[in-house]
Amino acid sequence: MSHGITRKWITTNLLLLVLLLAGAEILFVSSQTQSYYNAVRQAIHNRYSSIAGQLQVTGNSETEATDTSQARALFLRSMVEQFDAKDRFELMLLRSGGQVLASSSGRIAGISVPEDYRLALESDNGRGESVYYSTAGEKVMAVTYLVPYAAGDIQAIRLVTSLTLVDAQLTRLFQVSVGVCAAILLFSVISGLFFVRGIVVPLGEVEASTRRIARGELDARIEQEYEGEIGRLCESINHMAEELGRSEQMKNEFISSVSHELRTPLTSIKGWMETLSRLPPDDPHYQKGMEIITSETQRLYDMVEELLDFSRMQNGVKLQCERLDLVAEVSDAALMIEARIAGQGLHLSYEEPELPLPVWADRNRLRQVFVNVLDNAVKYSPPDGTIFIDLLQDGESAFVEIRDQGRGITPEDLENVKQKFFKGKNSVRGSGIGLAVVDEIVRALDGEVNIASTVGVGTTVTIRLPMLGAAGPVPQSRPPG
Ligand code: ADP
């Protein structure tokens, strides 16, 4: 992973920077070369302009045209001999055909017809330029100007200057700019590596920790504290590990409490079976034993049903909804639990409302909701306590309120009672999935479960369901029309 980021950074950022710098370098060097060569060109031209200016004046006072022409030729020849800028330029005179007539350097022989002379002949302004390496291996710029006036046998003036100094300067400039580019590149590499390290190192730690968590070491945490996004990622992973640990612990507690719950009726069944095997069928205890075995078996069956149901519900609650009267459903549930309430010396306060409360719901699931909540109310009620059931309508919602006078739930537990496998500190028995199932079903019916409780006073569970026919969110399972 870490190699991936580094490689990606090199191939994208670094490569792009190298390309950009190379482009800038090429542009810079070529523009500098251009401007330096232009300056040389200008110096040559200035020199030529001054010669041409003097040439124009020469012979103007003469009357004969041939004399004027000769005078100019003479002037040019003397100029070549006394040329005062020999150290910078070489001044040459060319005759028609390109042969050198005279040169300020004194060298005439061996010079072939120069390229710039040919170009001057071809050009419109009588000027030709060439850059080449002289026989001495020196790079030079040569410009030939065709003399605009008749000057004896002289057809052109040629000025040659060395480019060695200019090129040396350009080379220095090139070296400095390459140095600057290298410094920029080095700085980017160092700062980039710092940046990449700032991601790669924490990511490595995150990777190691998540591997440990995946292996089941749920107490693994990322200890180092980082800032920004990486810090938040580490926090999320630590939180995830914490939650995983919590759910693992809850799962273990769930398994142990379920096993315990299953063992109680099994112990009783086993005990009675042993007793019955020694008793004749007409013994008065025989019948009682059979009844207990039957009721304990039923309890086991119900418990296993509840567990199976819960496990099925983990893949989403499947509902078979129909139009129901909430009043009738609550009355049925009350009737079912009434015997248990009376059996435990409790009282039930329920007044059936006269008007129906139509809802769109699954009958069996709804019954499961009421039975679970009422079962808790019975479980946690003190002897002689009363369980109140109220039905209310408010706007587009119907409310079922189940209130007990039991021991209540502490505020810390109240936050978690709807979570699966959660059992409060006050829990007497159960697997911790009752309210989780209630919440899941009611939410699937577009409703809501609210639990209010005061320790020592009692608990009120309020179930809100949308009423049928009222405007509002249409449950997915509602039939068309
Ligand atoms: P269980 O199946 O163990 O009863 P529930 O999900 O129904 O699990 O309830 C979770 C926890 O909420 C219980 O362990 C208990 O601590 C608390 N609780 C639920 N209903 C009541 C109530 N009516 N009075 C007091 N505590 C309750």
Neighbour order of strands in the sheet with 458-466: 347-350, 386-394, 397-403, 458-466, 448-454
Provide the residue-wise pLDDT of the chain in tens; the chain has 481 residues.
Answer: 456 888 888 888 889 999 999 999 999 999 999 999 999 999 999 999 999 888 888 766 555 666 788 888 999 999 898 888 888 899 999 988 888 889 998 877 666 778 999 999 999 999 999 999 988 889 999 999 999 888 888 999 999 999 999 999 999 999 999 999 999 999 998 998 888 888 888 888 889 999 999 998 888 888 888 888 889 999 999 999 999 998 888 888 888 888 888 898 999 999 999 999 998 888 888 999 999 999 999 989 988 988 888 888 888 888 899 999 999 999 999 999 998 899 999 999 999 999 999 999 999 999 999 999 999 999 999 999 999 999 999 989 999 999 999 999 999 999 989 988 788 887 877 778 889 999 999 999 999 999 999 999 999 999 999 998 744 444 444 443 3
How remote is the CA of residue 403 from the centroid of ligand 1, in Å? Answer: 13
Compute CA distances 426 → 341, 406, 407, 429, whole Å.
20, 11, 8, 9
Nearest CA among 291, 282, 468, 458 for reference residue 378: 458
Instruction: Say how far apart CA 472 and CA 80 lie, in whole Å.
Output: 107
How far does CA 362 lie from the centroid of its chain? Answer: 43
Nearest CA to ligand 1 atom 4: 430
Instruction: Say how far apart CA 378 and CA 337 lie, in whole Å.
Output: 9
How remote is the CA of residue 424 from the centroid of ligand 1, in Å? Answer: 6
Which of ligand 1's atoms lies nearest the C-alpha of 404?
23
The best mutation among 409, 421, 442, 455 to test binding of ligand 1, ranked by most ligand atoms within 8 Å of the C-beta, falls on 409
Cβ atoms of residues 94 and 158 within 8 Å? yes
Beta strands at 154-162 and 139-146: parallel, antiparallel or unpaired? antiparallel
Instruction: Say how far apart CA 234 and CA 228 lie, in whole Å.
Output: 10
Task: Report residues whose beta carbon is within 6 angstroms of any ligand 1 atom.
Answer: 376-377, 380, 404, 406-409, 413, 417, 422-424, 426-427, 430-436, 459
Task: Sketch out the chain's domains with CATH numbers.
Answer: 2-169 (3.30.450.20), 228-309 (1.10.287.130), 314-478 (3.30.565.10)
Phi, psi for 299 (deg, rounded to 5)? -65, -45
Which of ligand 1's atoms lies nearest the C-alpha of 435?
6
Q: Write out the H or E segment, with its range, that includes residue 302.
A: helix 284-313
Nearest CA to ligand 1 atom 19: 376
Nearest CA to ligand 1 atom 8: 432
Instruction: Say how far apart CA 203 and CA 68 lie, in whole Å.
Output: 91
Instruction: Say how far apart CA 342 and CA 348 lie, in whole Å.
Output: 8
Nearest CA to ligand 1 atom 16: 424
The best mutation among 257, 381, 417, 428 to test binding of ligand 1, ranked by most ligand atoms within 8 Å of the C-beta, falls on 417
- One-letter amino acid at 234 equals C
User: In sequence order, what DSSP letters do the residues of 392-432 get, joined into one string?
Assistant: EEETTEEEEEEE--S----HHHHTTTTSTT---TT--S--S
Nearest CA among 35, 36, 46, 81 for reference residue 159: 46
